[in-house]
Amino acid sequence: MARELTHFIDGAHVKGTSGRFADVYNPATGEVQAKVPLASAAEVDAAVRNAAAAQPAWAAQNPQRRARVLLEFVRLLHRDMDKLAEALSREHGKTIPDAKGDVIRGLEVAEYCIGAPQLLKGEYTDGAGPGIDMYSMRQPLGVAAGITPFNFPAMIPMWKFCPAIACGNSFILKPSERDPSVPLMLAELMIEAGLPKGVLNVVNGDKEAVDAILDHEGISGVGFVGSTSIAHYVYSRGTAAGKRVQCFGGAKNHMIVMPDADLDQAVDALIGAGYGAAGERCMAISVAVPVGEETADRLMEKLAPRVEKLKIAPYTDGNDADFGPLVTREAQARVMGLINKGVEEGAKLVVDGRGFKMQGYENGFFVGACLFDHVTPEMDIYKTEIFGPVLSTVRADSYETALKLAMDHEYGNGTAIFTRDGDTARDFVNRVNVGMVGVNVPIPVPLAYHTFGGWKKSVFGDLNQHGPDAFRFYTRTKTVTSRWPSGIKEGAEFSIPTMK
């Protein structure tokens, strides 16, 4: 019998009461291993009231005390790393080393947030006028919420709740219904680390819970990560309800390979960035753009045999697998449909993984690695985010054509250039309209103390995730002008004060 998962409210696991559930699969076997409750608007409301009640006392603690909870949380994440990685792989399907990376990239944001006392320091002008001082404070929003995707079930929830909580907010996390166990475990660990009950709550659910969050008057800020159409929807509905909202969406990341690039390095990069986590990463490279026919021919010659040799396996098969299954049967069918479409559209399928079957795991959601050549910008496989182990190659006749491809694509999350020429790299970095750029680095995911965010249709909103922007997003500024001690002894002023 499938386990029944819970919500996590007021520091405890709480059973769902809506009567609605979603199946949580083991993607390697295709079996349903748990069912997750889908919250009703009434359940969301109860969680928000609880979070609102807990928030003032949490905000009143000095920032150093709040930071100490995160310090302890980091220690507990290390203690439970194996357990977390196993739970993550069991629901997501990624390999154990990759699952640990998922936890660590979240943990690093928790580490950054330990610096909250420094990051929350305001601005102060001594003597802004005669006897007048002026200062700006950063105050929490109140209750904030995070709606997160399936592909990083540890990292992205931590990107959301660590800075929000460090700033003195309480938080409602609505994780993906595909892999909700790790978010629940993270909430347990925060309580063990000393977080007061009610400050971090996990409400599982689908569109109904999301809509309830977006409409709820008690929530002041919402952070979202997921596909672009939902990101746009969440941004529109949340801002219409007067909330501060930041939404991070889909991607189609191009890697430009110049004729002077070290092709062995470029091939290594494309293999890891294109096929790692079965391509289910918003920073995956999904388009290779070799510049010049000769570069393209040499690249394909080296790339194809490497793609053929990729080892696909369930996470239980040891640590030498390159990637595992996709997250659901629907994802598998969608990716297979797009590969078929690419063939119909006339792209050349150089490595065809469609027939891949994992022995002993025939019902798992596996798709073999695919490599396309001669993809063109009109094709669906070029325009759409595939989110599977499929790399498309678009041949460009010049650097300018390659740059234009990346610039004309509707998404602008990440991109990379491989070259030995500093001048070309510099030009690319300056001109490309993409938020995160790698020079001889295929997945330029910024570290915790920089900020993460794309451009164009990869984002709705104006501040990035983690780094200093997160502290701006989860606080609002209050600016105080104070005059001591002269008061109004010289009489009231009736015209607006100016710098005379």
Q: Which of 147, 371, 394, 448 binds ligand NAD (CB under 6 A)?
A: 147
Residue 227 lies near ligand NAD (rule: CB under 6 A): yes
Q: Which of 106, 142, 149, 168 binds ligand NAD (CB under 6 A)?
A: 149
Select from 242-250, 372-380, 392-400, 426-434 the region that touches ligand NAD (CB under 6 A).
242-250
> What residues form DSSP beta bridges with 133?
482
Residue 250 lies near ligand NAD (rule: CB under 6 A): yes
Q: Do residues 393 and 375 lie in contact, with contact meaning Cβ atoms separated by under 8 Å?
A: yes
| Closest approach of ligand NAD to the CB of residue 399, in Å | 27
User: How far is the C-alpha of 32 from the C-alpha of 22, rounded, in Å?
Assistant: 10
Q: Which of 27, 168, 180, 454 binds ligand NAD (CB under 6 A)?
A: 454
113, 167, 282, 370: the catalytic one is 282
E strand or H helix that includes residue 179: none
Peptide bond before residue 63 is cis, with ω within 30 degrees of 0: no
Residue 392 lies near ligand NAD (rule: CB under 6 A): no
Q: Quick one: which of 177, 148, 178 has its CA closest to 160? A: 148
Contacts (CB under 6 A) with ligand NAD, residues 403-422 = 413
- Tell me the number of residues near ligand NAD by CB under 6 A: 26
Active site residue 247: no
Q: Which of 26, 29, 40, 151 binds ligand NAD (CB under 6 A)?
A: 151
Residue 246 lies near ligand NAD (rule: CB under 6 A): no
| Closest approach of ligand NAD to the CB of residue 261, in Å | 26
Nearer to ligand NAD, 91 or 373 (CB): 91
Structure tokens at 359: 């022995």
Nearer to ligand NAD, 20 or 302 (CB): 20
Nearer to ligand NAD, 449 or 455 (CB): 455
Q: Quick one: which of 180, 109, 177 has its CA closest to 469? A: 109
User: How far is the C-alpha of 297 from the C-alpha of 408, rounded, in Å?
Assistant: 25
| Closest approach of ligand NAD to the CB of residue 109, in Å | 13
Task: Give the other-Cβ count within 10 Å of 372's Cβ.
Answer: 26
The three-point CA angle 443-448-449 to 5° equals: 120
The three-point CA angle 150-153-157 to 5° equals: 115
E strand or H helix that includes residue 330: helix 329-344
Task: Give the other-Cβ count within 10 Å of 330's Cβ.
Answer: 10
Contacts (CB under 6 A) with ligand NAD, residues 267-326 = 282
Residue 55 lies near ligand NAD (rule: CB under 6 A): no
Which residue's beta carbon is nearest to the bound ligand NAD?
226
Residue 387 lies near ligand NAD (rule: CB under 6 A): yes
Q: Quick one: which of 51, 34, 31, 38 has its CA closest to 7? A: 38
Q: Quick one: which of 390, 366, 278, 311 has its CA closest to 26? A: 366
Q: Which of 206, 317, 345, 421 binds ligand NAD (CB under 6 A)?
A: 206
Task: Give the other-Cβ count within 10 Å of 243's Cβ.
Answer: 22
Residue 385 lies near ligand NAD (rule: CB under 6 A): yes
The residues near 430 (Cβ < 8 Å, ≥ 6 apart) are none
Q: Give the amino acid at 213.
A: I
Select from 169-177, 302-310, 338-346, 477-485 the region that touches ligand NAD (CB under 6 A).
169-177
What does the binding site for ligand NAD look like in residue numbers (CB under 6 A)? 147-152, 174, 176-177, 206-207, 210, 225-227, 230, 248-251, 282, 385, 387, 413, 454, 458
Q: Which residues are catalytic?
A: 282
